[in-house]
A and B are shown apart, each in its own frame.
Chain A
Amino acid sequence: MLPLLGGVFLGWSLGANDAANTFGSAVSSRMVKFWTAAVLASTFILIGALLEGGSGIETLKGLTNLNLKQAVVSSVAAALTVTVMTFLGLPVSTSQAVVGAILGIGLLNRELNVAGLGKVVACWFGTPIGGVLAAVVLYKLLAHAFNRSSLDLVRSDILVRYGLIGAGIYASYTLGANNVANVTAVFVGAGKLSVFAACLVGGGSIALGVLTFSRGVMQTVGRKLVQLDPFSALIVVLAEGLTVHFYTFLGVPVSTSQAVIGAVLGIGLLKGINTVNRRTMINIVFGWLLTPVIASIIALAIYFAIHLQYIPG
C-alpha cells in the first residue's frame, strides 16, 4: 500500500482542484449546495473511472517501462510538481506533470515510446482547441433551440439550472474516466495494480479530494465562470465534458482546466467579448511548457537522490 501513497496524494489534489471545473459554477452561484455537488461529483468520478478509465491507463503505461520504484518516483514527482506550481500560483495540468515525470524516468531508462508521446502531446494542444470548438458548436445549436422553445421564463430557468447540474455530473464522469490514468497508470505499468484496481484506487482518491478539499476552489474558480451568464456557464461545462470525453476515447489524459479555458474562449469569440485576458493566456502557455520540464527534472532529482550512497572516507 505504501508505494501507492504518492499516487493517492496526486489523485487527492487532482480531485480537490479539478472538481471546480465541473460543479464550480453551480456551487458558487448557490444553485447547488456544496455537499450535494461534492457527493454527485465524487460518485460520477468513480463511475467514470471504473467504466472508461482503462484506455488512458493503457496509453500512459505504454509510454515507457517502469519498475515499482520508478513508478513511485514518477508519481511523487508529479504530485510535487503540481503542489509547487499551485503554490507559486502557476496554472498546472496534472496530466502534463505525470507525463513529464514518466518522460524523465523514460529518458533515464533510454526507453521511450515516441509515437505514444507524440499522440499525448498533440492531444494537449488539441484540448483547448477542442474546448473552443465544442463551446462554439454547442452554443450555436442549443441557443437556437433555447430561443425557439416555447418554454416560459420560469421553465427555461429550471431547464438551465438543472442543465447545469446535469452538465456537472457529465463533466465529473469524464473527469474520472480521463484523469484516473494520471493517478495510477504508472502502478499498472509496474505490475503493482490491475487495470480495475487502478481505476478503483485512482477514482477513489480523486473522489476523496473532491469530498475533503474542493469547497474553496469550487467557490473561487466557479465564481469566474459564473461571471458568464448561466446559459454560457452551462455550455462551458458541457463543452469541457465533451472535449475531455473525446480524449478519453482516444485514451489520452488531458487537462480539464485547459478544456474549460478553451470553452470560455469559444463563448467569448461568439459573443465578441474578451472572456480570457492576455495574462491568463500567457500563464497557460508558460504552464504548458514548464510543467512537463519541471516534472521531469524533479523525477530525475528524486531518482538520483534515492540512489545516492554514503561512502565512508
Chain B
Amino acid sequence: MLNFLFKKEHRLETLFFGYLENLAKTQEHFLKAINLCLQKGQCDDFVFLIKQTHKYESRADDFRDEINELMYSRALIPEMREDIMNLLETVDRIPGTMEMILNIMYTQKLTIPEFLAAETKDLIRISIESCDLMGRQIEVMFKRKEGVRALMAIIDQNETHCDHIEQQMIIRLFESDLDPFAKLQLKELIIAMGEISDQSDRVSKRVNILTMKRRV
C-alpha cells in the first residue's frame, strides 16, 4: 500500500533478483560453452558462447554497481547494507570465475582430453547445480522463508563431491602421458573449475549466517 514511499528499497529488490536471473543466464551460456568444447573442441559457436558469457558477466557488474550506488544513497539499515554488499561481492566472483575458465580455454587453446571429459562434465554439472541452489537460497533468505540450512547442506555436500572429482582429475592428469606443460595448463583449468562450487559454498555459508543474524 505504501510502496511509493519505499522506492529505493523496491528498486534494490528488483535489482537483486535481476542480478540472480542474470547469474542464471551466465551459468547457462557457460555450461553450453563447456559442453560444446567437449563435443566439438574450439569452434565458432564456442567463441560466440564465450562472448555471450562475457556479456552477462558484464551485465552482472552493472547490476552490482547500481546496487552499490543505491546502498550508498541510504537504502536499508546500515548493518544490512554492509551485509548485502559483501554478499554481492562474494556472489559476483562466480560469473567472474566462469568467464576466466572460458578465457583460459580460448586464449591458451586448451582442449580437454578424452580421458577427463566425463569427469569434467560431472564437475561442471554439479558446480552449476550448486550455483542454482545458491540462487534459490538467496531468494529464500530475501523472502525470509524456511529452508536456508537445508540448501546449505546440499551445497556443502556438492562442494565435497566436486573437491573429490577435482582431486581425481588432477591425479589422472599427472598419471597420463601428456606434455608436462599441458599438464600444468590443464591443472590450472581444473582448479578454476573447482572454484565454482567452492565459491557457491562460501556464499551459501554467508547466506546462512545472514539469515541467523536477521532472526531476532
Contact = CB atoms under 8 A, between A and B. Distances in A.
Interface string A205-220: 0000000000000000
A231 B216 CA distance: 7
B76 interface: yes
Please tell me the size bucket of the interface on B: 10 to 19
Contact of B142 (A146, A150, A152, A161): A152
Contact of A154 (B12, B74, B79, B216): B12
B132 to A, nearest CB: 20
A29 B78 contact: yes
Contacts of A151: 144
B135 to A, nearest CB: 15
B144 to A, nearest CB: 5
Interface string B77-95: 1111000000000000000
Q: Which of A147, A151, A154, A160 has the most CB of B within 10 A?
A: A154
Given A29-B77, A31-B77, A161-B77, A146 B216 contact: yes
Q: Which of A29, A143, A152 has the most CB of B within 10 A?
A: A152
Contacts of A147: 215-216
B62 interface: no
Contacts of B216: 139, 143, 146-147, 229, 231-232
A280 B10 CA distance: 42
Interface string A108-151: 00000000000000000000000000000001000100110011
Given A152-B143, A157-B9, A30 B79 contact: no
Contacts of B13: 152, 154
B213 interface: yes
A29 B74 CA distance: 10
B215 to A, nearest CB: 6
Contacts of B213: 229
Interface residues of A, number: 22
B6 interface: yes
Contacts of B10: 154
Contacts of B80: 153, 157, 230
B214 interface: yes
Nearest to B6: A158
Interface in A1-53: 29-31
Interface string B122-150: 00000000000000000001111000000
Q: Which of B13, B74, B77, B213 has the most CB of A within 10 A?
A: B77
Interface string B7-27: 001101100000000000000
B143 A157 contact: no
B157 to A, nearest CB: 26
Interface in B176-216: 213-216
B87 to A, nearest CB: 11
Contacts of A29: 77-79
B75 to A, nearest CB: 9
Contacts of A161: 76-77
B153 to A, nearest CB: 21
B149 to A, nearest CB: 15
A156 interface: yes
Given A146-B216, A229-B213, A154 B77 contact: no
B74 A156 contact: no
B14 to A, nearest CB: 10
21 contacts: A30-B74, A30-B78, A31-B77, A139-B216, A143-B216, A146-B216, A151-B144, A152-B13, A153-B144, A153-B214, A154-B10, A154-B142, A156-B214, A157-B9, A157-B77, A158-B6, A160-B77, A161-B76, A161-B77, A229-B213, A230-B80
Interface of B: 6, 9-10, 12-13, 74, 76-80, 141-144, 213-216
Nearest first, the 8 A-B pairs at minimum CB distance are A231-B216, A143-B216, A153-B142, A152-B143, A154-B9, A230-B77, A29-B78, A154-B13
Given A146-B216, A152-B142, A152-B144, 6 more contacts: A143-B216, A151-B144, A156-B144, A158-B6, A229-B79, A230-B80
Interface of A: 29-31, 139, 143, 146-147, 150-158, 160-161, 229-232
